[in-house]
Each structure stands twice: as C-alpha cells, then as structure tokens.
Structure 1
Amino acid sequence: MGERAVSGERVVGLGLCTPIGTTEEMTLASMRAGLARFAEAAAPGAGEPVRASRLATLDPSSTRTERMIALGRAALDGVRERLKASPMGRVPLYLGLPEPSLGAPVARESLLGALLSAPPGQAGGALALVGAFEGGRAAFFEALSAAIGDLRAGRVGSMAVVGAVDSLCDADSLAALSAARLHLSPQNRDGRIPGEAAGFVVVARPGAAAGMGLEALGVVLGVALGAEPAPFASRVPSAADGLTGVFRALRGDEAAGARRVDEVMSCQPGESFWATELSRAYLRNAAWMPEPLALRAAGEWLGDAGAGAAPVMLAAALHRRRRRAQAARAAGRAPRALVYGSADGARGRGGRVGACVVEAAVGGAGGGEGR
C-alpha cells in the first residue's frame, strides 16, 4: 500500500544531537532502550555539584553558546544530504532558541553565524535564516508554524529546515539554576535536571517530496500556538489555560483533530507543575486524547533540554509510530502523536505554548528501522 493522501507537510529529514547520542539513530536507540546520561557537574559558587544531562564529549569549561554551536552543527550534519535534493540555492531555516531565562546569555550572532556556515567542501544545501524564535520549549513549534505558513503561501519554495537548540549545562547556567534552587537536589525533590539538545527537521510541501526523490518519514497534520497567563515562573499553581487552548485548537482542526491521537509526547522536565498542567488540559480535551493516556516526557531521557527538546520528541514520535507500521497497515489507519512544549515564561513574560500533531508514514519502502 502506498502513502495515503493525507493533508499536511511531509517530514523528509531528521537530525539530532543529544547527551544520549550524537546522531538521530543513536539518540532514538538510546531512548528505545530507556537510557539516560545523568551525572554530577561542577557549578561555580554552588555548595554541591548539580546533576545534569550533558554531552560528555564537550569540554566542561565551554560556554553555553559554544555548547549550542557544537550540538547544532552535529544535528545539522544529519540532514545535509537531504538538503542537496532541493532545487533552491539556499534552503530556508527557521530556528527555535531559548527564552530569556536564568541560563547564561547566548551570543546569538556567533551562534547563527556558526550554524549557517557550511562545512568545508560542502556542496549544496546552504541555509538562509528566515526567522529565529526565542520561545524556549515552545520555540520549535513557533518555528514550525512559520515554516508551514511560508511553504503553503509559496514564499520559500518547496522545502524548509526547522530546528531548535539549547543547553543549560555550561558552568554559568548550572550556577544560576543552583542559586535559584530550581535543580533537583536533596533540598528540592521537585526540581529539574539541566540538559541540552539540538534537532532539525526537513519539511516539504505535499507532492514536492516525491518530486525530489525523498521519502516521507511522516506528516505534520497541524500546529497550534498559545500563551499561558500564569506560567511556571509566576510561582502560582498551573491553571493550564494556555495548554488547554492549544489542545482545543488542534482538536478543532480538520486534519489534526479528525480522530484521537494515540500518544502524547511532552517536552517538559519533571516538576509537578507540568504534570498538573497536562492533567488539566487533558481532562478538558479528553474526547480527543488517548485512553488510557499514553505519555512520554523528555525529562525521562534528557532532563530539561529547553528549546532543544521538541525536535527530539517529534523524531521519537515518528520513530515509535513507524515501528508499528505493519500493524497500522493491517488496521487501515496510521497512528498519530501529539507533541507539545510549554516555556517557563521567565522575566515577567507570558509562557509560550506550542504543539503539533504528526502521523507516521506507514507506506512505501525504506526509511524505517534500519535508516
């Protein structure tokens, strides 16, 4: 059975770099095996080491920007070959970045310059930045929404790269989290484990993927954005108004809300605030949610990877769905996953919220488990 006629942009490339794997294949294999890399890291001025999830091959003394550059370049390497299929001279890039927060400042121009520069000897697949979105855990969804809007309007050709990168594992960020008592410790059993990650997704207009000789790994059925009036940083119990609205928007979408999703993939760390947020938004949209709730959270593997969590969880959603492709063919329906992320809303800003629904491509050959 070939690919069904499903409305939505095709995912035709994935590239990841995380503490549990420097490629998409390594990261997803580690997640499938339930592996995590949590270890104590020194934080200047902190009374004790901070438990963190960080890439061991990076110098512990590297800055936040340096870590983000290394993570981003490695993740981009995973999609470079796909970009060569584009007939455009430069492929548009939409990039999700950290929100202003307790972490160390990011040297934005240095980061963007490093990610946009092609590796030595690289032919084709050059990138042109269209937009950078500082929405934290929601930033990737903001970037994805902008990319899909431009693709549908014909402003950027037939292909775009959407990604996000973040790190909270440099010494200054660890020290700031420690001073704010946000990290998991004996004194704060409801804290977070700082993490880092980068991921890039190549999306193409329906029909364009086949024309470029690229297999569709999945379909983005819909994206929704919102804001939480009382986010985590407000220090009040979650009312989940922002997330409820985002779920409701997707539920009302003709494609994304046509039937229940089969799994929920959360970009959140482990604090109880986020569990309360999800439970309230879930109950207000129960008719559209999996029953019983099937949930996986980024914190299980990555700790708090900030903006970098979303592309990882989207890739994991497609991978987990594709592993069940044979059963999906037999049932006549491809499984769907809801991926969402909520920002802290630091420094008096409202907390950005974003989500998307993706459906795995279950037809065609290749591109599955052995990819």
Structure 2
Amino acid sequence: MVVSGMGLCCPIGMTAAQACASIRAGITRISLHAAYRCLPPPEDMEVEEDANILRAGVVPGLEDDLEGSQRLLRLALPALQGLFSDSKLSRRDVSEGALLLALPLPDPAVSGWALSQRFARELFRCSGVGDWGKVVTLEAGAAGVMMLVEQARMLLANRSIRFCILLALDSYLSVDRLTWLDKARRLHSPRNVDGFIPGEAACALLLEHRRTAEARGVPLRGVVGPMAAGTEPVAVDSGRWSTGAGLCQALHPLLRAGWGEAIGEWTLCNLNGESYRAREWGLVQARLAKSLKATRKLQHPADRMGDAGTAMTAILMASACHAFSRRHAPAPVALVWVASDDDSRTALLLRAAHAVP
C-alpha cells in the first residue's frame, strides 16, 4: 500500500506541499487567540500585562469565535479539495473508493458536538462529494488514525474498493474545549508552564495499491509498512507519570519487522511540550536502546504549529512522504509514533517508494 496523494490545511500551510516545506524549514506560526483568556495565575506570581491571553496555532482565515463542528468543517474542505487536486481523482471516482474519517476523541467538550452522527453528512453536503463506495467514521484520537490505516490495508487486500482516502481532523480552538483543557491544567500558560499550545488541522491521505497508482500515472509518495499498537496503563489525566509500557509495546514489533537497521534514526512523533509525553519517550529510548537506532533526526511539528490532536498522525505521515518524494529524507525509513490522550499508543513504518522494487 502506498500514499499517492495528500491534502493539508494547518497553521503553517494551506496545501500539503506548503505545510511540509514549512515543517522542514522550521517555520513557526503561533499567535494570540483573541476569543479566549487563560485562567489567571496566582496573585503572587509576577507576569506581564495581558499574559493570560492564549497562544495558539490558528489556521489563517478562520474566525476565532468559530466553534465546534463548523470549525472542523472549514478545516476539512480545503484538505479534501487539495487531495483531489494532488491525486488526479475526480468526483466520479469516489463510488469506487472508501472515505475513512478520523474525528477527535469525545472528551467532555467534543461529546456535545455529536460528530459521529452529523459530521459526515455535513461534509458531503458542503463538498458535493457523497457517493462513496464505503464510509467509516471513527472518533479516533491520534493513535486511532493508524487503526484506520490498517483498515484501509484490509479493504484494499479484499479488493472491495479501489482506493481509500483517510481524512483526519481536529481543533482544540473552541471556547468550551479550551475551558475544559485549561481547568485540567493541560494548556500552556503563565498559570501552567507544563502544558501544550493548542492547534488545529485537517490532513487527507490517498492510500491505494502501488500498481493502481502507477497505472494512473501519479507520483508515489511513500510505502506504508507495518503498524503496531500498545496500551498505556497510566493515562495523561491520571496525575501520574507515564510508565512507557504502551509505547514500548507499539514500537517493539516494528524493530523486528525486517525493514533495515535504520529504524528510529528518523523519528516523527506528536511530542507537544507536556513533560508527561517527553518522559514517556525518554523511558522508551532507555528500555529499547539495544534495538532502537539512535535518533539522528527527531521531528515533532507541534512545537511549530500547536498540537493538532487527531490530525497530527496524518500530518507526520504526510511530512515523511513529502521528504521521500523530494529526495531529502534524512533516512531510508521513517518511524512514526503517536500517543492519544487516552491509553492508546500506535507506531508505523514508512519507506520511500523509489527504494522499494
């Protein structure tokens, strides 16, 4: 299975090529969010004036007060349109394909948006594309996106559809969600330095058999390798440090996958500034030191655009595939791992298409 088309909408790019080039160049776009003010720090803490204004990764052109499912819809449409343009697919082709829709995890704020019941229908109405051969909707979180990649692999193997479009999207930038995160001490602010900068994005990937893509005459961006999953017994909202067990469980099978000796040399992940995840990665590196290649290039775009939640997994995959296709990847194999806000951990290998016969 290969990635043969991409579309992306995020704070540092409105197309996949633009966003991936920005990630490689280290371009940052974090701005002040005028619609939300963080909870104030203690009175005895010296802070600058207006220091409780939230810093966030906001997609250009989206109003700060745009909320919930409507904000997600405004992210999804350009990403989906970009993929169709990039992959040379037409609306007539969708009856032979599957749409795999990865939505945010249903936290206390998102649960009220009723995304699993309404979002796909709204997306079809606004995009004018709705006659899909198959539609799968999953409130996935970052780790769940890779589960949909595996579902795409099974659908293509069964020859029930010709291609799959994976559309992953998320936004933390609704006032109700920001309020919940702030009270939980997850947002980065003067009150809580051990937090993440919230962001938003939508990323679409076209997944199909290599021979199908070659027959259509489109560039092959990357070959999708094995995936593995794990379960972390201590979630981020527990108030305790991660044990690293779930991520070790996800990574260990990939180190024995027979994809060469460079696994881990180039790693892309969703580290987001929270010490919980940083400590988790440190534990994993120590425990798997004998089999995990020393990381020469570690990429975590959340420090440039904010944490985009569920969309982050697809962004990491797109960034690796873009580097492969432009021949500037730092290693022949990319290791992608992600941690969701629940107990899910997943990891995946990608390789340049030109390196595979």
2:223 aligned to which of 219, 223, 227 = 219
Corresponding letter in the other structure for 2:23:
M
For the residue of structure 2 that corresponds to 1:74, the secondary structure is helix
Per-residue deviation, 1:78: 1.3
- The answer on 1:119 being equivalent to 2:116 is no
The equivalent residue for 1:304 is 307
Query: Aligned in 2, Cα 1:116/1:87: closer, same or farther, shift over 3 Å?
Result: closer
Offset of residue 320 of structure 1: 2.6
The answer to whether the aligner puts 1:146 opposite 2:146 as a matched pair is no
Q: Is the 8 A contact 1:339 1:355 kept in 2?
A: yes
CA RMSD of aligned residues (A): 2.6
1:224–1:250 Cα contact (<8 Å) kept: yes
CA distance in 2, matches of 1:263, 1:113: 39
Q: Distance in 2 between matches of 1:23 and 1:88?
A: 21
Change (3 A) 1:101 1:119: closer
Identity, % of aligned pairs? 29
SS in 1 for 2:166: strand
Hey, what does 1:62 align to over in structure 2? 66
Tell me which residue corresponds to 2:81.
Answer: 77
Partner of 2:341: 344
Q: Does 1:107 align with 2:114?
A: yes
Residue segments in structure 1 that go unaligned for 5+ positions in a row:
1-8, 329-333, 346-350, 365-371
Give the Cα–Cα distance (whole angstroms) in 2 for the partners of residues 270 and 363 of structure 1. Answer: 34
Q: Does 1:199 align with 2:178?
A: no
Cα gap change, 1:248/1:118 in structure 2, threshold over 3 Å: closer, same or farther? same
How far apart are 1:163 and its partner, in Å? 2.2
Please name the residue that 1:368 is paired with: none
Cross-structure match for 1:95: 101
Q: CA deviation at 1:282?
A: 2.5
Amino acid at match of 2:113: V
**1:266 is matched by which residue type in structure 2?**
C
Q: How many residues are aligned here?
A: 340
Tell whether the 8 Å contact from 1:259 to 1:288 is kept in structure 2 after alignment: no
Match of 2:323 in 1: 320
Instruction: Return the alpha-carbon distance in structure 1 between the equivalents of residues 127 and 109 of structure 2.
Output: 29
Give the CA deviation at 1:238.
1.1
1:362 equivalent in alignment to 2:354: yes
Query: Structure 2 residue aligned with 1:39, among 26, 31, 34?
Result: 31
Task: Answer yes or no: is 1:285 the counterpart of 2:288.
Answer: yes
Q: Which residue of 2 aligns with 1:131?
A: 136
Question: What TM-score do the two structures reach when normalised by structure 1?
Answer: 0.84
The DSSP-based 3-state class of the residue aligned with 2:186 is: coil
In the TM superposition, residue 305 of structure 1 has moved relative to its aligned partner by 0.8
Change (3 A) 1:101 1:257: farther
Q: Work out whether residues 91 and 126 of structure 1, in 8 Å CA contact, stay in contact via their aligned partners in 2.
A: no
Any stretches of 5+ residues in structure 2 without a counterpart? 41-51
Q: 1:185 to 1:102 in 2, by over 3 A?
A: farther
| Alpha-carbon distance, 1:291 to partner | 2.1
What is the identity, as a one-letter code, of the residue corresponding to 2:154?
G
Rounded to whole Å, the distance in 2 between the matches of 1:341 and 1:45 is 27
Contact 2:38 2:189 in 1 (8 A): no
2:297 to 277, 294, 298: 294
Write the deviation string for residues 325-347 of structure 1: whole angstroms up to 9, x where unpaired: 5x99xxxxx711011111111xx
> Structure 1 residues 86, 284: closer, same or farther in 2, change over 3 A?
farther
Q: For residues 85 and 35 of structure 1, what CA distance do their matches in structure 2 show? A: 34
Q: For the residues of structure 1 that align with 2:254 and 2:183, how far apart are their CA atoms?
A: 38
Does the 8 A contact of 1:133 with 1:142 survive in 2?
no
1:291-327 alpha-carbon deviations (Å, 9 max, x no partner)? 24421113222221110111111111122334435x9
Kept in 2: contact 1:44–1:172 (CA 8 A): no
Aligned partners of 1:103 and 1:177 also within 8 Å: no
What CA distance in whole angstroms lies between the structure 1 residues aligned with 2:209 and 2:91?
Answer: 14
